[in-house]
A and B are shown apart, each in its own frame.
Chain A
Amino acid sequence: MIETKFDAAWMLNAAADGELDAMSLASFERHCAGDPALAARYAQMRALRGAMRGASANLRAPDDLRARIAAMAAGESAAPQSDSVAAMRRRPRFPMAAAVALSLAAGGIAERLFSDFVSAKADRVAMLIIDDHRRAMLASSPIDVASDDRHTVKPWFDAKLALSPPVVDLAAKGYALAGGRADVVDGAAVPSLVYRLREHFISVTALPAARFSGIAARAEANGYAATAWRDGAFEYVAVSDLPRSDLEAFAAAFRAGAEAGEAR
């Protein structure tokens, strides 16, 4: 399980970074009004941000570098002209390329070890997803994009994650689409659909099956239940505080809806 740690320094940074939702920001600003030391730190953070962004705005790729890269696209030689100063200090390209290739190969091995590890710990992924759902429920809004229209939710995932699962319309079955959320599971950003049944939320997280496979079919933690199934390119995990039987009924409706093509 993930330890969730909140403290003042995180809050201060998240506020300065615009990462707080409106409710949290309002409460933070109220604290600042009654605490001059906190307000001074907040002003420092914002000033530091401003200074760094100002400095980085002036950093642009030099023209000669841009020209060399543009030449690559045109299929011309990427090597700079031999009489340029840049060429004299430029190191041979080959060892670098070889090193990159090597590190990519090593990365591939690490990736395989990693996925073995994940499948050996099938429960772990389900637990991470339950944690994501819990965190979302603790935030003032459990969704990043609020819409009951799948034609809004799907393009949002496309743009945000370059990965979008079928969005099944289950309104007729009593499950209203509340919106979508991007979760991070084991370092991968994945889409979660959020449905609502009465006052309960149900998150359906779609994991690329190529990376996540063999997720525990059932998991439970802290009053939340999870159920997982595989469909095409995705492993789905649904999480809710609904009773297990209601959650399974939802999962069955979702699968049936996806099969019947009530998805876009």
Chain B
Amino acid sequence: MSETSQQLFREVVLSNLDSAYRLARGLTGNSADADDVVQEACLRALKGIDGFAGGNAKAWLLTITRNAAFTFMARNRSRMLVLEGDQEEAGRALEDTPDPGATPEAGLIAKTDAAALEAALASLPQPFREIIILREYNDLSYKEIAEMTRLPIGTVMSRLARARGQLLRALAPEMAGRAAS
């Protein structure tokens, strides 16, 4: 491997490694699987580094990481992954925004701990979880998410709205418990 390629790999991959790890962690839901996914993604990135055309290095690495995560999950959790059509169906049941009376107050939400959030995230169907992870863990804009997932921007917005509505509902029982104690 040439010196230039090594340098490029360091700039593109190592400097965005935390972002790739967050995506893998968010998609797989645990750190051991995230480790495997990131290592596989970096191997692929290393092989393809000379094809990197410049531009947005983070988006390039995240696209590879996303593909590696889906391959990984399809192999290791075939029973957990439902077909895309079924997931769309599952998502349709999610309302855009819940009644604010049925969900926790802003002050309580702000104090949610990471474990409770992670449990709530795990309750989301995959296509919805993915969008909110790309938004919050990776700080991508709506346009960047639409480009990476090849979804129309309206679908991105609708999935994000539904994902957040579901998260607020999922957090409600935990909040109620905390407020009572």
Contacts and interface: CB of A to CB of B under 8 A. Distances in A.
- Determine chain B's interface SS by DSSP, over half rule: helix
A160 B140 CA distance: 12
B117 A61 contact: no
Task: Give the bracket for the number of chain A residues in contact with chain B.
Answer: 35 or more
A161 B53 CA distance: 11
A46 B106 contact: yes
Contact of A44 (B21, B103, B146): B103
Contacts of A158: 55
The secondary-structure label for the interface of chain A is: helix
Given A62-B35, A162-B55, A187 B109 contact: no
Contacts of A189: 143-144, 146-147
A13 interface: yes
A103 B151 contact: no
Nearest to B154: A5
B100 A65 contact: no
A53 B161 contact: no
B75 interface: yes
Contacts of B165: 9
Contacts of B31: 62
B117 A7 contact: no
A190 to B, nearest CB: 10
Interface of B: 1, 6, 9-10, 13-14, 17-18, 20-22, 25-26, 31-32, 35-36, 38-40, 42-44, 46, 53-56, 67-68, 70-72, 74-75, 96-97, 100, 103-107, 109-114, 117-118, 132, 135-137, 141-144, 146-147, 149-154, 157-158, 160-161, 164-165, 167-168
- Listed from nearest, the 9 A-B pairs whose CB atoms lie closest are A162-B55, A187-B150, A9-B96, A43-B106, A47-B109, A61-B21, A47-B106, A55-B114, A52-B136
